[in-house]
């Protein structure tokens, strides 16, 4: 089962949660966004009762609540930590955490613009874990059990902005810079410690290839840590970090340019695929809660190589 967010008509502010058919040509509505996250486990266990619609008749959006908390783990694979700031240093006892705003998230197939101050975007293939139950002062086992599903995720990064200060927020929240794939129920995925293969490709060339059992800080441990300070609620997200192979650490460095296609494929979760475009394709959302709608004619311009 693959779970996505949809709008039935462009311009609608209401988001519904739906299952995506195996062939990707139809969706079946489960519930409104708010109703789904009020009881995600129950909705996943029941047969969908909503209408079935052609995927071309809806607009895909992330199934993310406007007030969701999106936590990200930095430097969470040993080899990536070594190619970053912890080369020849003792690894920190606790995970490095930063936040994304929900409106920075987008979906498989969306275009991602390069900000005007950047020479390109860097890729970071990851797995995102979706919280499905409230967590307060939870232990690692309770926290892991609360995860209702997982998605492939790309933490596309504006490196120039990220490195301006010791805080990473600016470089990690560019417009549409967080493509998240369909959510697959945790019951179908199992524990990430069994080692799901994660690969990132740029224009068909593999640039990252690792397994999720190589994470330093595990999902349950990290959610437990967060829950002792911040209450976690259904619909919150944890992006679990990226392995080695990011662009800035390559010799010479490599960044995504307009026209490049980047894919993150995770075993059992599928692939999230996006194309990078120039800064002139940025826009300010005027309606809706997530800021993911494309302006009229955008896709036509991209198809012409603009």
Task: Output the pLDDT for position 91.
Answer: 73
pLDDT, tens digit, 9 for 90 and up, residues 254-265: 999 999 999 999
pLDDT band at 286 (very low <50, low <70, confident <90, very high): very low
Tokens 């892991």 correspond to 144
Task: Give mean pLDDT, residues 117-127.
Answer: 98
Per the structure block, which two tokens stand in for 259?
């026209």
Identify the CATH assignment for 63-280 out of 3.90.850.10, 3.30.450.20, 1.10.1200.10, 3.40.50.1820.
3.90.850.10
pLDDT, tens digit, 9 for 90 and up, residues 159-197: 999 999 999 999 999 999 999 999 999 999 998 988 999
pLDDT, tens digit, 9 for 90 and up, residues 4-54: 999 987 656 699 999 999 999 999 999 999 999 999 999 999 999 899 999
Between the CA atoms of 108, 65, 292 and 57, what dihedral angle is there, to the nearest 10 degrees? 70
Does the pLDDT at position 297 exceed 80?
no
Between the CA atoms of 169, 173, 177 and 179, what dihedral angle is there, to the nearest 10 degrees? 80
Does the pLDDT at position 89 exceed 70?
no
With beta carbons less than 8 A apart as the criterion, state whether 33 and 67 touch. no
% the chain with pLDDT above 70: 87
Contacts with 217 (C-beta within 8 Å, 6 or more apart), sequence order: 73, 76, 94, 95, 241
Task: Output the pLDDT for position 12.
Answer: 64
266's enclosing H/E stretch is: strand 261-266
Ranges of each domain in the chain: 1-61, 63-280
Does the pLDDT at position 304 exceed 70?
no
Task: Output the pLDDT for position 159.
Answer: 97
């Amino acid at each position: 089962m693959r779970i996505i967010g949809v709008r039935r008509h462009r311009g609608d502010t209401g988001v519904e949660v739906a299952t995506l058919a195996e062939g990707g040509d139809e969706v079946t509505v489960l519930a409104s966004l708010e109703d789904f996250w009020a009881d995600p486990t129950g909705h996943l266990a029941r047969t969908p009762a909503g209408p079935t619609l052609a995927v071309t008749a809806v607009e895909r959006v992330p199934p993310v609540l406007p007030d969701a908390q999106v936590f990200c783990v930095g430097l969470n694979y040993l080899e990536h930590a070594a190619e970053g700031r912890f080369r020849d240093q003792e690894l920190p006892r606790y995970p490095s955490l930063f936040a994304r705003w929900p409106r920075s998230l987008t979906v498989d197939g969306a275009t991602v613009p390069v900000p005007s101050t950047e020479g390109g975007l860097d890729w970071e293939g990851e797995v995102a874990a979706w919280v499905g139950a409230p967590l307060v002062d939870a232990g690692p086992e309770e926290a892991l059990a609360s995860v209702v599903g997982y998605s492939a995720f790309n933490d596309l990064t504006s490196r120039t902005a990220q490195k301006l200060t010791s805080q990473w927020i600016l470089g990690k929240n560019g417009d549409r810079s967080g493509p998240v794939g369909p959510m697959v129920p945790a019951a179908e995925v199992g524990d990430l410690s069994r080692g799901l293969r994660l690969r990132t490709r740029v224009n068909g060339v593999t640039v990252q290839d690792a397994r999720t059992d190589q994470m330093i800080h595990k999902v349950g441990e990290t959610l437990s840590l967060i829950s002792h300070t911040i209450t976690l609620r259904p619909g919150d997200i944890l992006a679990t970090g990226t392995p080695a192979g990011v662009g800035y650490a390559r010799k010479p460095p490599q960044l995504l340019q307009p026209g490049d296609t980047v894919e993150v494929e995770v075993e059992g979760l599928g692939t999230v695929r996006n194309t990078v475009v120039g800064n002139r394709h940025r826009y300010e959302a005027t309606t809706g809660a997530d800021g993911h709608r494309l302006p009229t004619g955008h896709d036509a311009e991209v198809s012409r190589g603009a």
